[in-house]
A and B are shown apart, each in its own frame.
Chain A
Amino acid sequence: MTNSQGYRGYITSRPIRGQETPHQVQNMVAREYCRRNGHLYLLSATEYSIPNCFMMLAELLNSLDECQGIVLYSQFLLPQKRTARLRVYEQLITAGAELHAALENTAIRTKADITAFEDTISIVNALPAAPMGGQYDKTIESAEFEAFKLAVL
């Protein structure tokens, strides 16, 4: 069990699900999540922008005795490979720490929470193989019509 108070934030410098999110916005979301849930928010660690690099996450996992857990900006900051994610969960649970995802408002507190947490990630990862690539594209041809819709909505 950890002794220290507070949850360490974890944000990234890489695109998340294809979108760039400013560090400031990631921190705001994580901080607000902690406020709503009555958690003390500790300064966040920022992952390197090097593709597939999780050195900063590894550092946090090695320092779990200094906090109550980790607050990810999004659960999609975790490694793409399921086996790698499972190792993260295992390390946290063994240390008696929690893993929170601020954007998705979800958390792993015990082993029983892993399935629901993992479902969202694995389904999103599978969606490109679903009909229409899992994404409905609203692009239409008429720029005039598009402008109209913007105007009236």
Chain B
Amino acid sequence: MSKDVESNQSEDRNFLLDQESVLTDQFSRQGFVVHQAESSEALDYIRAQTAIAAATALNMSAPDDPGAFLNTVDQHVDVGGLNNLRMSVIESLLGLPDFHINYFNCARGLLESLVGNELAMQRNIALSVQLPDDDGSLLPLHSDAWGSECSPFEVVLWVPLVDCYDTKSMYLLPPEANAKWVTQLEDYKDDGVEALFKAIEPEVTWVNIKYGEVLAFTPSVMHGNRVNQTDETRWSFNIRFKGLFTPYSGKRLGEYFMPISVRPASRVGLEFEMPGAFYDS
């Protein structure tokens, strides 16, 4: 081996695969990655179960075309009934023993590349249903790490059940712009969040994503959604993942996160006990 090669190796200690380096670069630059779902079977299962749960809650029979049904569910429910529908669907899905593993399987490799191969996953299911022109289901501009018990070590896996685009989707501020605007937050202390959004709006990225794709993003950058001005309903899940041994905030391992991949070497370490009791005689 030549001296040059040895030298290069000693300088690059991030031994990522080429594909991982591409994802890392995208994630670092954009704050998110859109990726093809790694298991279409898992994704189709989740969408089908969601559609069945929604239809059941609406006293309807299971739809033949789950995607079309969800996309047009505004024909069957109004804003007043939306939260009951959402909660009913969540409760049904939480009753499925295989929901979480199917969700994870939609992006297992992506999450392991971006986060790590020992992971904690959010126990509860966060589901967003945004009817056209509904201003009651909005998430104003925010960074999760600012005030919602979240650790900045978390990544959100956002999975749409319908095609999401423009205001039917979500926006986020890329990390470089986020770093710039964070230093100016105080300028908006009297004007509030909407004024801040108007200021950053030219620099936000709206995520256009189709059913069949998944979105992984860092919720530590500013993000949110607006009134859905399309004539279709958005359905998307957002569930958090983080490295099992990375710092937690108010969302703790236990009631909020659960371990989903513990490697054997870690288990050996966790169970290790020093032998015997030696006493200074």
Contacts and interface: CB of A to CB of B under 8 A. Distances in A.
A149 B186 contact: no
A124 B259 CA distance: 10
Given A76-B254, A135-B248, A152 B196 contact: yes
Interface residues of B, number: 34
A152 B254 contact: no
Contacts of A133: 247
A74 B246 contact: no
Contact of B255 (A74, A119, A127, A150): A74
B152 interface: yes
Interface string B258-276: 1100100001011101000
Interface stretch (B51-59, B140-148, B159-167, B201-209): B140-148
B123 to A, nearest CB: 6
B254 A103 contact: yes
Contacts, number: 88
Interface string A125-146: 0110011111110100000110
B259 A82 contact: no
A133 B244 CA distance: 13
Contact of A131 (B146, B148, B247): B247
Given A120-B259, A126-B270, A152 B247 contact: no
A136 B152 contact: yes
Given A145-B186, A148-B189, A82 B254 contact: no
A145 B147 CA distance: 12
B245 A123 contact: yes
Interface string B165-201: 0000000000000000000011011001100100000
A78 to B, nearest CB: 12
Contacts of B254: 17, 74-76, 103-104, 120, 124
Contacts of A106: 258
Interface of B: 123, 142, 145-148, 151-153, 185-186, 188-189, 192-193, 196, 244-249, 252-255, 258-259, 262, 267, 269-271, 273
